[in-house]
Amino acid sequence: ELLSAFAVQASIAIKNASLFEQVINIKNYNESILNSIATGVVTADAQLRITTVNPAAQRIFHLAAENAVGKLTSEVFLSDINQQLNQLIDLTVKTGQPQTTYEYKHQLSKDQAININVNILPLKSQSNNSLGYVIVVQDITQQQKLMSTLCRYVTREVAEQVLQDQGSLGLGGTRKKVTILFSDIRDFTTLSEKYPAEEIVSLLNDYFSSMIGSIFKYQGTLDKFIGDAVMAVFGTPIAHPDDPIRAVQTAIDMRRELWAFNERRVSQGKPAIETGIGLCDGEVVSGNIGSEQRMDYTVIGDAVNLASRLEGLSKNFPAKILFNEDVYDLVKDQFPCVELGEEKVKGKKEHVKIFGILDKDIMYCSITPH
C-alpha cells in the first residue's frame, strides 16, 4: 500500500512537472514571438502600471523597458502632451471595449513626434475578470514621409494606390495610352537675362504653385519641371476613362490661373508673362527609369515629343492651347475646338493636323489686366 501510494504521488509529481514544462515552453514561445515582431506591444495591469514592453515598442517609443515597467501609462506616454492616446486608454478602461486610432501623431517629446496606428485592448480572464490591457502600436512615420513626398507629384488618392501596389515601385515600364500636357513660359531666356536670379526663382516658384493646383484638381500626375516648363500626364499611374477631357480642362484652368497670376504681378509693378500649352494623346511607356539607387517615374514615347512640339507652336497662333487630332476626336463635343491647319513638326515625316481652344477668356492672359 505504501508503494502504491508512493507511485500515485510520483505520478502526480511527474504530471505536474510535465505541465509546468509545457507552461514554461508556451511562455517562452510567446515571449519569442513578442521579441521578434515589428509591431510594438505594451502590456499594463488593471491599475495601468506597465508590465512589459517588447523590443519593437522600445524602438518606436525610444524607451528602455527598465525605465517603463512599473510606471503608470500616463507617466510613460506623457499625458500632458499626448492627451488623445491617454484618453483612449481611459476609454478602454471605462467601457471595457477595444479602442483604435489611425495616423495618430504621438509626441516623444515637445520637439520630436512619430506617426502611429494604435489599438488598445482589454485583457480578461475566462471568468471575465480584468487582467490588464494591451497597447498595440504600428510605426507609420516612414510611410507618412513617403506619402508626403508622393503627394508633391500626384493627388493623395493616386499616392495611396501607388503605395498599395508595391510592385509599381521597381524599375521597368508598361505601355499605356495617356494624354501628355506641356506648358512653357514664353521668352523666359529674355526674362532670365533681364532680372536677378533671385527674382527669377521667386517667379518660377509662384508660377509653378499656381499651375500645379490645376493639375492635381483634375487628378493629373506632375511628371517633371524642365527649366520653366511643366510636364503632366493623364492616364498613369492611375487611368480614368475621361483623361483627355481632364487634360484639356486642366489646360483651360491653367490659363485662368495665369490671368490671376499676372493680375497679382502687375499690381506689384512686375511684368505679366505669357505661356503656351501643348497636348497630345497617344501610347507611351510609363514606369520607373534609372537605377536601383536613383530612379524617376516618367513616360517616354512619341506622344511626349509631339506635346512638346505643339506647345512650341502655340506662339504662332492666337489659341494658346494646342492639341493633336487624337485629343480633338475625344474632346470636340466638350470644348470650343477649332482646326488650325497642318504644320510641319520636327521629328514627323508627315504634316500634323493642329487643333486649339478658341475662347477669348483664356486666350489673352498676358495682357495687362486693366
Residue 258, all three cell numbers = 495665369
Q: What is the pTM of this model?
A: 0.63
pLDDT value at residue 165? 62
Q: Which percentage of the chain shows pLDDT scores above 70?
A: 77
Q: Provide the mean pLDDT of the chain.
A: 81
Q: Class assignment of domain 170-363? A: alpha beta
Residue 8 CA to residue 10 CA, distance in Å, equals: 5
pLDDT tops 50 at residue 2: no
Please report the sign of the dihedral spanned by the C-alpha atoms of residue 110, residue 111, residue 117, residue 121: negative
Nearest to 347 by CA among 303, 282, 311: 303
Q: Which percentage of the chain shows pLDDT scores above 90?
A: 28
The average pLDDT across 90-111 equals 87
Measured between alpha carbons, how far apart are the two ends of the chain, in Å? 118
The domain limits of the chain are 37-139, 170-363
DSSP for 227-271, please give it.
TTEEEEEESSSS--TTHHHHHHHHHHHHHHHHHHHHHHHHHTT--
pLDDT value at residue 349? 79
Per the model's pLDDT, the better-predicted residue between 101 and 326 turns out to be 326
Q: What is the pLDDT of residues 257-290, one digit of tens each?
A: 999 999 999 999 888 999 999 999 999 987 776 6
pLDDT value at residue 81? 82
Fold of 37-139: Beta-Lactamase (3.30.450)
pLDDT value at residue 38? 77
Per the model's pLDDT, the better-predicted residue between 314 and 288 turns out to be 314
Q: For the purposes of burial, counting CB atoms within 10 Å of the CB of 85, is it exposed (0-12), middle (13-18) or buried (19 or more)?
A: buried
Residue 203 CA to residue 143 CA, distance in Å, equals: 33
Per the model's pLDDT, the better-predicted residue between 348 and 240 turns out to be 240
* Alpha helical stretches, state H, the chain: 2-36, 55-61, 73-76, 83-95, 141-150, 156-164, 188-194, 197-217, 243-267, 302-313, 325-331, 360-363
